[in-house]
Amino acid sequence: MISMVIKRIGNAAAVMLAVAFVAFMIFQFLGDPVQLMLNEQATQAERDALRERLGLGQSFVMQFVTFVTRAMQGDFGISYRNQQEVMSLIAERFPATLELVLVSTVIALCVGIPLGVYAAIRKGSPIARLLTMFSMIGVSIPSFVIGILLILVFAVQLNWLPAFGRGDVVKFGWWSTGLLTPSGRRALIMPAASLAMFQISFIMRLVTAEMLEALRTDYVKFARARGLPNRLVHFRHALRNCLMPVVTMTGMMIGDLIAFALVTETVFQWPGMGQLFVQAVMFIDIPVMAAYLMIVSAIFVTINTIVDLTYLWVDPRLRQAGVARGYHAH
């Protein structure tokens, strides 16, 4: 068990090192930071001084080591575009993204699980077939299209909800939340709904598939034979056994969603770190790009590792066989 845990954590560290290497290579290949940071009149002495300060005179390996050490301390340098510290730029925008992702996940769970259970229990009924059809449409229509449609209807035509921005926020130290003000909550509705759409379909399909499998098992048949009412059979016996994969898959999806939220953030001009990244890509603001890549990957890898470890802890069979759990969101 302990060796498996160490192995998983080692894997995660190796992946992060590889991500750091990719980020470092982007620095190496794209543009000369000295040229980007100084103006044209800079003297050769100034250039050399900056080169020295940035550590560009060191060997390739040493530069990489410096890069990784700094990154681990949260130091990703200065943004080329607005000359601010990258870490504070991201920290300022991180709460907005996390709030959006978490609220949309809660919506998706609250809607997706009941619908999935219904589609499984009433398999073949007209409503269940309609739900399956809807889930197919939900995974097919791009989330930016859904976002634009929502804006067209609820902001432009009906004028009920704001089309962009985050509304008023309340600050707690460096953390900010829009959940405590009316305008913040109103601004959150459409972005969260459009981000939830894909998840609802995904969770619904997963719950339906798991439920159909559970309904065929012997313990469910036994529960029915005991004459338990359908409600108890479905919710206490069948659904409970489906929740574990649903919860872990949702957990894994959060990592993906933090990256994917950048599309929704672009549509609704939501001031999250995804929007920051998209703007950085436009301006080739490499420190911001690299920092975003590393932070999102770190979140993603951490969540996946925790999920893997939870499985090891819950399911003793995996410990002996030493096989990797084949659950991936892709």
Partner 1 sequence: MHIDEAGRAGRLAEWRRRLSDAWDSDLAYSFRATPMAVASALVLLIVALTAFLAPLIAVQNPYDLTQLFLDQAELPPIWNEGGASPYLLGTDVQGRDVLSAILYGSRISLLIGFASVIASMAIGIAVGLICGFAGGHVDNLLMRVGDFVLSIPTLLVAILVSAVFRELLPVNLRDAFAPVILTASIAITSWVQYARIVRASAMVEARKEYVLAARILEVRTPRILLTHILPNVMTPVLVTATLSLGLAILAEATLSFLGVGMPVTQPSLGTLIRIGNQYFFSGSWWVVLFPAFQLGLIILAVNLLGDWLRDALNPKLQ
Give the binding site for partner 1 (CB under 8 A). Answer: 15, 18-19, 22, 26, 29-31, 136-137, 139-142, 144-145, 148-149, 151-152, 156, 163, 255-256, 258-260, 262-263, 266-267, 277-278, 281-282, 284, 289, 293, 296-297, 300-301, 304, 328, 330
Closer by beta carbon to partner 1, 246 or else 262? 262
Structure token pair of residue 163: 């089309």
| Residue among 140 and 217 whose Cβ is closer to partner 1 | 140
Return the beta strands (E) in the chain as ranges. 170-172, 175-177
Nearer to partner 1, 71 or 233 (CB): 71
- What's 84-111 look like in SS3? CEHHHHHHHHHHHHHHHHHHHHHHHHHH
Both structure tokens of 330: 């892709």
C-beta closer to partner 1: residue 239 or 263: 263
Residue showing tokens 């069979």: 317
Distance of alpha carbon 23 from alpha carbon 157, whole angstroms: 44
262-to-144, 149, 257 alpha-carbon distances in Å: 10, 18, 9
Nearer to partner 1, 33 or 234 (CB): 33
CB closer to partner 1, 71 vs 169: 71
Residue 289 beta carbon to partner 1: minimum distance, rounded to whole angstroms: 7
- For the CB of residue 330, give the shortest distance to partner 1 in the complex, in Å: 6
Q: Are the CB atoms for 99 and 178 separated by under 8 Å?
A: yes
Among 162, 155, 152, 156, smallest CA distance to 270 is for 162
* DSSP-assigned letter for residue 78: B
Integer Cα distance of 193 and 100 in angstroms: 10
DSSP letter (8 states) at residue 125: S
CB 26 within 8 A of CB 77: no
Q: How far is the CB of 145 from partner 1 (least distance, A)?
A: 4
Angstrom CA distances, 175 to 89, 98, 126, 209, stand at 13, 11, 47, 39
Closest residue by Cα to residue 109 from 247, 226, 212: 247
User: Position 2: which residue type?
Assistant: I
Nearer to partner 1, 13 or 314 (CB): 13
Of residues 228 and 281, the one with the C-beta less far from partner 1: 281
Closest to 212 in 3D by CA, of 132, 294, 138: 132
